[in-house]
Structure 1
């Protein structure tokens, strides 16, 4: 019957059986006649332990006809719950190891012809029949019924046998069988322990058999390394197909053929792990150890090793660091030097900014006082002009010259205020391309015939957010400076382009800007001149050739517009001045809005608040000459007392900067709190921004009589609907 597993699992034979290659059903093989003729009992099982064939000797010892067991499972044909696990374990061991397994002795009950179970003792050998791919196709069981021997042994032990030599022989036989079984138990325990160590070993291990290198064993580390699980019984070339061309197949062939061990260190291998789209590059330390049989033949290869990828990467990084250490030191030294240079540059820029701020505060105050003087002169001249006879050409010529000087002084103060960032700008969306093109005639006339003039505009130029008048003045100032720097002629190029700046900009700018560059091929600047070029009144020109306010106006305009300006220049190599203006999110206006004509006249009561003793009488005279009734105070506090007392006033005309607790803006707010409908016009020679922020009408000093009359009349009309 069944060749069952020993009471304790038997150790498989160490000798590998000659495989019987079976690719077709057993009925097609010539071995059937051999099995039938053999006096030894044989039965053939498939891998599900179903009986597919049995010879006559097997049918005879088991007492079953062929049609009663063929096609049935072994444990269905011969049920025995007590001993079935031992038999099943033997079969499974054959499937797992693909090697012969022997059971020395096991009891197994047999029912013959439907009778009661008959306890029999068996000894069996299970031999794997291998298919062409090395897998187990069938199990051939050779079974021997040793019940009589077992009974003789029992009788000998009970003293029922008188034949002493037979009794001794049987006793020796069973003693040897018991020793074999005990040995097998020990071997199985040792095998299980070794298999556990094999499976749990931290290094990867595998066993491949035969010339085709069929996987027989592989531990968890090996499966994790290759990223595959179902590999037992499959060839290396089938499982690890990506090793083609990497030399590993050839190494296995050489070890199997020569029986020589191969050791590799830091060997690079490309593996397609875990279905990754790209192969992973790994580094391995491994050994290919030939497995040698007792006759000296090589039966397979034992693979053992470690994944040293991380170690190799660390070594590579360490080697890279060691190799390039001097380069790194040089780089760090250069970076430190650059950082120190940058620190010095930033410190110099800070000192320059602090100096510019101090000069700006000074020039702002000077411009304020100067505007007051100009306003007094302008008012006096305009009052006198009204009294000059129409035929007095000489007096009118003198008046025109005086008014021209006042206008020139007003422009100078505007440039000073622009540098000091006190001049109120009126920014709008400026089409840089069209604006510079419209200035081409003016620029050409400002240059000389020996200077070549060119303009270059990048495509898709953004509009800039800037005061258009100040922008034109800045471009003109730069062109005139460039002209004076080329006494022997040369080339002037104006370039405009877009410039987006990120957080890492060394000048601290960030955002979208329009860059305007004015470059010349002139004499250039020394470092000392370049450092002071933006200072007001600083000039290298001869006396009477320049005011020194051109570049300061450019710098003040750029900074007040939210941009930047800087100079790149070397002696003998020309100068490039760069002007950055923020990008506008609005569309430029097309055309110029008409300027309304000034309205002269009045008849209204005006409360004039002016502290300057020179300006106040002049303004009073102008207002009275225009027909206004004037009540004057020197401080905002006095004016507020009059308003609170109900002084009849139609319009409040006040300076912004005055002594006392209140300035002009605070007075306007307090006045409107008392009389919300009271028209208010402010004037200042300092900055329009402080007043314009409240939405008040502001008249900058110095102003013309027509401008004053127009501002007062407009505010009176607006307040009365």
Structure 2
């Protein structure tokens, strides 16, 4: 190629004469021509091609005409794959690929090729990329060889799986398991085999010689054959025995690359022989009962001391079973004249020399294989031999089966194919073979039974035309993903029937190894979906009935308690209307109304806590410290005869929850425990960090970081049939007037709304333990806030009141006026925004209800924050699902019913005093 480059007329190319080539190009050409690795240079805007001798064979028939031509004139068929890569290189980005698959026409026909290469950009004098340098290697043979080897391995493994004996394939000097068949697993047990070496899989074989045998076979290349070799596996008391072979596997170069292991377990035969050997001292007793055939023979010799006949002197019953004949006292020449000579030679040698013999051989006259042990007995002159034998015809048959496997493989394949075809015909599921281009090449008869289409119709149309239009996109996307991942997938879609209906089909689809086709199995879900719908309808009806029962119980309990509270309020207001009422009585009745309102608010709070709809005020606090603080109050509530024991963890247990609701939950559980003990017993309160919430009711266990607060009493316990009801609202086991039945429902609601759980365990006569679980958090970093003192004089501060309820709106404006505020009342959010649009600067604070028609108070507050970011907002609500789910979004909240003092304090807290001072100064 050096000579060709020098002789080439470069003036006809974009490179021009060689004497004008830039130094960088000349240097690369010299490097390339002196290298033995395939290389080429693509130079200039048309990427003129220069290459060396080892690259020329890759060009095939296009060499030597390719020299000096633009790259893609030489290789037009690779412009799509290679063009983008070269563009990256000309942009200054080096490119390296270990395997690029290309279809080339270099020898006049398309052929699949593979290359490993690197493209290096070559800058010119001005720094711009003027060419690229490529060092490459064609890996086509290697890739195709690896692909063929993988296919061959799969075929071999399929064959080995059908071998009746155990088979394993080990690779490398470390003897790493590459394959085991099911028979191997049956013998050795289920273990993690593939990819692990023998020593790791069978550590118990250390010292038994198997490692050393494998090492020897691998090192020498000599096979090892064992008969009845003992082996002891883990967890077994005795030895097993194996007949097996270690056959070295050689690579293409003849070197040993692995070991083939194959054989059978012969433990039963060996144990039978051992039993015979152990019982020789009691020969006569056992002679009649052993399963091994045994006989005493007398050998007859000719003048040359060659055995020519023998007589059966004595035989046990097993002899007759093994041979099928009772021949005691007869000569073999009488009943088996065709017996092979090797039997006479073996027995004659034992009789003459006294050396025992152990052979395996076939006796054609009996049509069987025998494992025979022979030893001389009695006076040597008597020429008598004891023969012990076992029928090993079955084992030999299995060995022959293994040897004949290759010869019978084709027949087995035909048999398996026939079985598969039978399954294809009889299967109730719809079976199909299809490609990714949209056509099916085979369908089972179940398609016609389920959908009505004929086989010809199914195979002549793209399978997408049978799909419901809404399902086609997801189905084709699932098939495309399967084609990329090569992993089976499952999905559902609707398929048209021949009468215009749609049937819902569940598909299980798996790719075939060829990468172009896949197998699909479809199951008609029509009946299953109908049954699911019936079940869902029945369950929904049951849930609705249960819901109505719970609603009835809840509303009845609420009505009872609120009627009691309203009776007190009504009686007090009637008495307040009486003329000439003394001042002390008036104050008593007003106090009764105030106390009753507080109890009603508490009852409402308990209902909201159970429903997980209260607007909590969470903050981070130490649960252990909170328990210690409230324990004195618990002791007061419990009485002097209840002993309080606290076990608090040494480490802080911080939780993020409403501390007031936390204290209420503790008090509710403590009061419940006190009543269960009838005021006499031990109440134990514990606080500990835990890593798991155990399985509770129908919910599984939850792992995480939690704080467990336990309340355990020594009371009477809770009956098992009542455990599932104790958290229901108004459910109580106490007498009338002794409890509302909302205490434990408040605990349940608080736990759920705080992201936790509550568990109860109880034993009748021994006591009950409640455990409250709350998520554990890090210590708080923000300082506690101190509420300001109530504002007793509004000093003319202007408040925009937003309230849709006339009574509440009238009360709020009158109250604020009494406190010295100036008020403007808007009945909804739209009217409030209109007032702010007129003149927002006149207002110091907005006081809005949360629940209103149209835009709610939360949305109004967000809109005010967006439009007038420095105007504070105070919200008021008795209940809002928005607040319960999402909190107050950083706005201050006043809970209804509220007192004048509470309203005054929060107004002072949220009001911007700097803004008020600025406005007052402008007015003066």
* TM-score scaled by length of structure 1: 0.48
* TM-score scaled by length of structure 2: 0.38
Report the structure number with the largest CA radius of gyration: 1
Greater RCO (Cα-Cα under 8 Å, separation 6 or more): 1
